[in-house]
């Protein structure tokens, strides 16, 4: 197979190649939420505390987010195909390490490594779309990519419940990780055959100092939230996060002035209309969207005594609604633009708000039946948020910054995942400890999720007004 250049005719295998990369990306993104339903089983089997076991989820999301932009840089330098195969191999191996973990410390370490390799893998997907598709086809391919992000997160609890039902306790949770092995091996074989060889464009130039500063800032923000039991003694890390974050931004300005490759290209915020809004919307939405799956798992399994499978099936309406609306929204985004995000966020907020009220009013397992319609509404809304936001945020990004922009957008979403999971879990356990009521704990945590989504809605409305003004003046 020869080298592919930008000026050649479209690769005839591009859609099959996209299917393979999206399957691998689906697997890595699924691991953000699939583990939530297994956390009670992991905690019981390994004898972990609630705060410690949160690192199984938050640690993965954190390292996933921090390696995204570096993965994009390495893909530019080494070639997307080569980097995709390296990252996917690493993801399969670290999945095996997580499944074989004899202790919580081993499991958390494996999840940190797994998140790191998953973060290296994901930007190759967006980079390959840029290499293989042009014009209207690129928009459709990015729509598929955005739908993969949303659907993979929504179906995670269902997939986790099915796996735990098949393999049972106490060690059934290990197959949540082992299932990646056959899928990953098949994807490796197909990727080696179908992905084109595209030459790297320049030498690696990774902003190590910037990556370190960003990592410290996020850790300082996340650690007090995850360590809920020690929160009172760790509050001082929040101002540390602010100071280090400010230093990170200043450093990135300096890197740009020296005409080097920054971790976060600050010109995206000044030269690209709509990018800041899309980044902020994604960050806020993922803070609320991804944390709810852990809340539901804790409420259903620990509070109501559901099995993992029953817990996963209880949120099926959200996954079904999201799957259908994601496919439709990808085709409507060019016509309706940011209005899709506004409507979608309203539906998500209304649906989850109704679910929160239902948990307080309806007792016992009957709550599941009352949740079907509002969860379906929330799912339909969720499918109209992620895919259109991805397309709209990257629509006006200059080609020279496309790789950085895609990686940074995903980084914001992953950090939102880590922060949201930590916040909602902390709120759940704090309220549970204070009231002893699982229903009140779940309702309060879901209320926090609605607050995050409302923040995303404000961003979407403001961005739509900005776009309307630009249209009115013919910009």
Q: Which is more confidently placed, 140 or 47? A: 47
472 pLDDT band, cuts 50/70/90, is low
pLDDT for the residue numbered 228:
54
- Of 287-296, 348-357, 373-382, the one with minimum mean pLDDT is 287-296
Whole-angstrom Cα Rg for the chain:
21
> Of 241, 243, 254, which Cα lies nearest the Cα of 207?
254
| Structure tokens belonging to residue 15 | 């859609």
Report yes or no: 124 and 66 within 8 Å, Cβ to Cβ: no
Q: Is the pLDDT of residue 224 over 70?
A: yes
Which of helix, strand or coil describes residue 162?
helix
| Structure tokens belonging to residue 214 | 């960003």
The Cα–Cα gap between 250 and 245 comes to 9
The Cα–Cα gap between 151 and 135 comes to 25
User: What DSSP line would sit under 288-300, residue for residue?
Assistant: HHTHHHHHHHIII
pLDDT in tens, 91-138: 999 999 999 999 988 999 999 999 899 888 888 887 787 778 776 677
pLDDT for the residue numbered 85:
93
Q: Is the pLDDT of residue 252 over 80?
A: yes
pLDDT for the residue numbered 139:
66
| Structure tokens belonging to residue 172 | 């059934």
pLDDT for the residue numbered 7:
47
Percent of all residues in the chain with a pLDDT value above 90, rounded to a whole number:
28
pLDDT in tens, 406-462: 777 877 887 787 788 878 988 998 999 999 999 999 999 999 999 999 999 999 999
Q: Is the pLDDT of residue 6 over 50?
A: no
Report yes or no: 74 and 211 within 8 Å, Cβ to Cβ: no
pLDDT in tens, 17-45: 888 888 888 888 777 778 877 888 888 88
The Cα–Cα gap between 341 and 456 comes to 9
Report yes or no: 147 and 327 within 8 Å, Cβ to Cβ: yes
| Structure tokens belonging to residue 389 | 């936001």
Terminal Cα distance for the chain, rounded:
44
4 pLDDT band, cuts 50/70/90, is very low
> Of 291, 279, 280, which Cα lies nearest the Cα of 401?
279
Q: Which is more confidently placed, 228 or 279? A: 279
Q: 283: part of which helix (H) or strand (E)?
A: helix 275-289
| Structure tokens belonging to residue 26 | 């689906």
pLDDT for the residue numbered 342:
94
> Of 229, 159, 153, 96, which Cα lies nearest the Cα of 421?
153
Q: Which residues have a Cβ under 8 Å from the Cβ of 212 and sit 6 or more positions away? A: none
The Cα–Cα gap between 419 and 284 comes to 10
Relative orientation angle of helices 402-435 and 275-289, to the nearest 10 degrees:
30
pLDDT for the residue numbered 260:
78
Query: Mean per-residue pLDDT for 258-264?
Result: 76
Q: Please count the residues of the chain.
A: 475
Q: 226: part of which helix (H) or strand (E)?
A: helix 208-226
pLDDT for the residue numbered 284:
94
| Structure tokens belonging to residue 198 | 């595209």
Q: Which is more confidently placed, 50 or 71? A: 71
- Rounded to 5°, the CA angle 429-435-440 comes to 75
pLDDT for the residue numbered 361:
92
Q: Which residues pair with 3 in a beta bridge?
A: 197
pLDDT for the residue numbered 403:
62
pLDDT in tens, 127-167: 787 778 776 677 677 777 777 877 777 777 788 888 888 88
The Cα–Cα gap between 447 and 408 comes to 28
Highest mean pLDDT among 295-309, 316-330, 382-396: 295-309
5 pLDDT band, cuts 50/70/90, is very low
Mean pLDDT across the chain: 83
pLDDT for the residue numbered 74:
78
The Cα–Cα gap between 387 and 390 comes to 5
| Structure tokens belonging to residue 223 | 């650690």
């Amino acid at each position: 197979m020869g080298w592919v250049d930008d000026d050649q005719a479209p690769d005839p295998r591009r859609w099959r190649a996209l299917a393979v990369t999206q399957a691998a990306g689906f697997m890595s993104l699924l691991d953000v939420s699939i583990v939530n339903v297994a956390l009670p089983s992991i905690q019981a089997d390994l004898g972990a505390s609630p705060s410690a076991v949160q690192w199984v989820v938050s640690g993965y999301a954190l390292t996933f987010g921090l390696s995204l932009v570096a993965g994009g840089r390495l893909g530019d330098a080494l070639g997307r195909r080569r980097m995709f195969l390296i990252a996917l191999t690493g993801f399969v191996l670290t999945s095996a390490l997580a499944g074989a973990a004899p202790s919580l410390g081993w499991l958390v370490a494996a999840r940190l490594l797994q998140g790191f390799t998953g973060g290296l893998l994901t930007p190759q997907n967006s980079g390959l779309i840029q290499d293989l598709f042009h014009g209207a086809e690129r928009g459709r391919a990015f729509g598929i990519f955005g739908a993969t992000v949303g659907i993979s997160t929504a179906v995670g609890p269902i997939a986790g419940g099915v796996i735990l039902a098949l393999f049972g306790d106490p060690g059934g949770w290990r197959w949540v990780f082992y299932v990646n092995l056959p899928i990953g091996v098949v994807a490796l074989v197909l990727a080696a055959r179908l992905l084109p060889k595209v030459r790297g464009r320049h030498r690696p130039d990774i902003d190590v100092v910037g990556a370190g500063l960003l990592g410290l800032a996020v850790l300082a923000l996340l650690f007090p939230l995850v360590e809920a039991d020690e929160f009172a003694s760790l509050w001082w890390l929040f101002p540390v996060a602010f100071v280090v974050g400010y230093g990170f931004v200043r450093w990135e300005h300096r890197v740009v002035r020296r005409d080097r490759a920054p971790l976060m290209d600050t010109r995206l915020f000044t030269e690209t209309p709509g990018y800041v809004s899309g980044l902020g919307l994604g960050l806020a939405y993922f803070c609320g969207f991804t944390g709810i799956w852990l809340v539901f798992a804790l409420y259903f399994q620990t509070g109501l005594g559901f099995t993992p499978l029953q817990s996963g099936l209880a949120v099926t309406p959200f996954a079904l609604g999201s799957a259908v609306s994601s496919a439709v929204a990808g085709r409507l985004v060019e016509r309706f633009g940011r209005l899709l995000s506004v409507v979608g966020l309203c539906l998500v907020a209304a649906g989850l708000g109704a679910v929160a009220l239902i948990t307080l009013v309806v007792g016992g397992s009957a709550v599941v039946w009352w949740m079907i319609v509002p969860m379906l509404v929330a799912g339909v809304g969720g499918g109209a948020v992620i895919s259109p936001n991805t397309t709209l945020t990257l629509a006006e990004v200059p080609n020279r910054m496309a790789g950085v922009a895609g990686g940074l957008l995903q980084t914001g979403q992953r950090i939102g995942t880590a922060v949201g999971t930590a916040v909602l879990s902390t709120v759940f356990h704090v309220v549970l400890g204070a009231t002893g009521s699982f229903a009140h704990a779940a309702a309060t945590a879901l209320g926090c999720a609605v607050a995050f989504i409302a923040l995303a809605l404000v961003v979407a409305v403001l961005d739509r007004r900005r776009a309307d003004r630009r249209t009115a003046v013919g910009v």
